[in-house]
Structure 1
Amino acid sequence: MFTKKKKIIAIMVAVLVLSLSFSTTSFAASISATLNAQFKALKILLNGQQVTMESQPIIVNGSTYLPLRAFANLFNKNVDWNATLQQVTITDKPDNLVTSLQAQIKEKDNQILVLQTQLAAKSGGKSLSDMEKQLNRDYEDYEKMDVSITLSGSTSKITVKVDIGDEDDWDDLSSTKQTKLLQYIADDLNDEYDDPDISGTVRDGSTTLKTFTVNSSGTVKISSSSSSLSNFADELEDDYDELGDIDKLSISLSGSTSGTITFTVKIKYSSFEDEWDELDDDEIEDFMLDIQGDIEDEYDDADVKGYIKDSSDSDANMASLSTSGSFKRYSDYD
């Protein structure tokens, strides 16, 4: 029984040595040898986990040998034998999970690239001045009208003035075509800038025909000029954003477009006390008269008066202007 076992071992060793001897082409002739080898009950651990081998390792002259195919299987490799070339080829086995994960990573990378491109386009959008020029090129002859578009404010809060040249031409348009023009403008602004707050007016010169806003979904909502006091106050705030060296002004309108409109300019006196004291009466009066004149141009039927107030005390008047244009600067802020 022992002799038979030794013969089997000798045959296995001969085959193993024969395979190794042909791993390069420098050995053209067959080489065989009889070696003394023994089986050894060894534990093989792969990353801390014991694995089971189909063929047991053998020990020859103190060195442990594993069958090449069994060893390659441990590392997910293919082993191919080319009898003609007497050559062993080892290649990676395809891993479907890895391939799937790699495809998912590539898809995510592409999505990130698209988002980065969109973000760069948003953050690097046109200035309002350049955007205004583009809109005028695109819509200056909309429905054969003489359209002029003005943008003011900032890229996050945009005020649009659409002058259509002749009220009759505007009135001749269907409500659908009127809305389409304003929607085209809003869409272009939303495409260029990141979720801006958009509002505006449609004018015939100094006369406001319509006001409009754009909701969070980008849809234009048109209203008549009678409800435009708050929108026009925003326009005034854009146009009159400083008085001398005083900035951060706020302007509000109240009243009726067919009665009396009151404008209120608020200044944080505690922050601009020196700047206010340096202003002479004429500068303040001219500032208030200009605002009064713009409101009267906008609303022909309204009488206009106004106040400059300390924003920290709504009851404290710093200056006033009556409907007849009579100006007063109050002594507490003189």
Structure 2
Amino acid sequence: MTRSKRITMLILVALTLTVFSVSAVYGANALNVKAYPGVTIIYNGKQLTDAQQPLIINDYTYVPLRMVMENFGKTVTWDGANRQVLITNSIAEAQKDADLINLQNENKKLQATIDQLNATIADLQKKRTGFADLDDVEDHLIDYFEDAGYDYFSDDDLVFSFTLSGDEDEIEYDIKVDFRYSDKYDDLRDLSSSKIEDFLEDVEAEILDEVDRTEYEDAKITGELVDRNYSRYYVKYNGRTYSFSWDSRYADEDLDDIADEVEDYFADAGEDYFRDGGITVDITLSGDEDEIEYLIKLDFRYADYEDSLEDLSTSRVQSLMSAVRSRIISEVDGTIFEDADIIGELRDSRDSSLYVTYNGSRYTFSY
């Protein structure tokens, strides 16, 4: 055998050994399969299949990984050194995920705002539909201030009663204090004014607390504390200040003094109401703290144009009587007479058959 043939033979043997070595290495994990091409993939009406077709192997469909992943926004790479397929989100997919997270966070914030608004609405509805019975509030005040005599005035023999009236605009309390069993005080004037105000302030606060979240919660609170045995002694609260009847500028005055004030005010009534300055007016008052009656006498002896009450306009007569009533109300404000009903009569001083009466609601003419 020639030298060249010997070398050729050695090369062929080496190649043969190499082929069989590779087959031995990979053949251990190799599978013999029968593959069937021709399969197409449709996603949302769009065909995804390209040159790399899916194959059916042993009744399973095998899809090219790269083709599918890239259609779903993924990036596929092969790590040959570690024999790994690496799948990651594409830039567009990563941005989409970030946008989704932002939207979820915004949604949480919006939901928190909605929850807060719903809570506010529920609270407002609760306030609007809340209901309070003033009788129940009365009962609460009676229980709460059961020991008011001792707590505020150091005398547990003082007895307090409470009555409430009013509506959603104004609630008025009427408190009466009974001194019959007290050895320390004779009447309301003996109590400390500052302690009375402390007591009434606490009454107002307790009423407001009881009507909170009800239809009465915005009501103005007013009221009166009255001596049960001497009703001329009282303390009034108008929602801002307290007034004491025994400290009034008219406390020591009687109806005669008030009548003088009213008569002076209408000194020119003849001219002002009837355009006849010769008509003179005389006004007297009678009555008590429950009812005051005025008597107006018109004297026509020196009148320039009119001879008697019949000659006067009935509307002007009513205007004068109404004005006198209003002035009386103004003058008795702050006195023991301020709650009195006002009635009255206007007469012709020379003819008692000519008169006009007022019963508190209507005028009646005798002529």
Alignment TM-score, normalising by the size of structure 2: 0.42
Structure with larger Rg? 2
Answer 1 or 2: which has greater strand percent.
1
